[in-house]
Amino acid sequence: MDPAGIDHVELCTDQPDQLVAYFRDGMGCTARPVDDPAGGGRVLLTQGDIRLLITPGSADDTAARYVERHGDGVRDIAFGVADAAQAYATALRRGGQPVTAPAVRTLPDGTPGLVAAVAGPGDLVHSLVQRLEPALPAARDGALLTLVDHVAMCVPAGELASTVEFYSRVFGLRTIFEEKIEVGDQAMNSTVVQNQRADITLTLIEPDTSRAPGQIDAFVADHGGPGVQHLAFLTDDITVAVPTLRDRAVTFLTAPESYYPMLAERLPHLENVIAPLRGLNVLLDNDHWGHLLQIFTQSRHPRGTLFYEIIERRQARTFGSGNIRALYAAVEHDRLTAGAPDRT
C-alpha cells in the first residue's frame, strides 16, 4: 500500500466556535458547515490543499470520548488511497486493527467517497479515503498556507521503535530522518517516516527517560497517551505569512536569545537571509538539499497539547538539527512560563 497524501485532518474540540474562528480569522481558512443529516455542527476549513474537519465534542459519542480523554486534539489523519477496500484489507493483513469497514460516505466537502478506517497509536485513527469524484477545487488566490507539510506525534518512552515499525509495516512508510536531540538536561529521540510519494510525513518523538523530564513527557501525561503534538503548514513565503498572521492575532513562540548569534556563526554565508528572519523570530536551518524556515505558534488549547507550525522549504526535503533544538527550547520555555495546563 502506498497512501497518496493527507486527504484531511479531523480535530475534536469542546470549543468549536473558538477553533473555527482561529483558523478562519487568524490563519485565513475558508469555513463551511458540513452537511450532516445527524447534525453535529461539524465545520470544514480549507486553504490551498489543506482540509481541516472541526468536530465538536458534542457531535457524537466518539468525539465526546476523545475530548473527555484528551481535550482538544487530532483524532483522524485521513490518508488518500486509490482503492479503499484493498488498502483496508492490506492494512488488516499486515496487523492493523479495524475501526470501520469500507463504506460509501459523503466526505466533509460534500463529495462521495469510499471510506474505511484503521487504528493508529493511542486513540488516533487513520481513515482511508478513496474519492469517487474529484475534491472541490482549492482556492489558491491569496492562500498563505498551501498544504499539511508534516504531522508531529509524541509517544511514551520506549514506544518509538514500535511506532515506527507499525507505520512501516501497515502503511509502507519509510524512515527518512533520525535524530537524538539534547537540550540542557533534557533529551528526545525522533524518527521521521514518509510515504513513497513524499506527501505524507510523520515526525515521531519519544522522551529520553535517562534525562530530566521535559515537554514530551508532559505532553504524554497531559494528553493522556500518545497523540499529535502539532500540525505543520507549508507556505511559499514565510516572510509574508508570519507578519500577516501576526496582524490577524496569531501569536508565535520566541526563539532563544542565543539562537541568531549562533546561527550567524554556523551559517555565515547566509547572513543576508538571517537578518530579516531575526525580526520575525523565524528559524533557519539546512539539510543536504536546501534550506528550511520554521516558526511555532503558541498553543490556544486548554491543555497546551496542540499547536501549529508554519514552514517554508527552499529545496529542503527533511529537517535540520539546529532548528529542532531551537524549537524544542522555545516550546519548553513557553511550557514553563505558562505553568500547569487546565485539564478540565
Q: Give the annotated binding-site residues for Fe cation.
A: 150, 230, 309
Q: What is the end-to-end Cα distance of the chain in Å, rounded? A: 40
Separation of CA 128 from chain center: 18
Which residues make Cβ contacts (< 8 Å) with residue 41, sequence separation at least 6? 16, 33, 56, 58, 59
**Binding site, residues?**
150, 230, 309
**Rounded to the nearest 5°, which phi and psi values hold at 174?**
-115, 150
Q: Contact, 169 vs 162, CB < 8 A? A: no
Helix (H) or strand (E) holding 6: strand 6-13
If we measure between CA atoms, which residue out of 191, 209, 185, 183 comes closest to residue 331?
183
Which of the 8 DSSP states describes residue 157? T
- Compute φ and ψ for 144, nearest 5 degrees: -80, -35
Bridge partners of 128?
79, 116
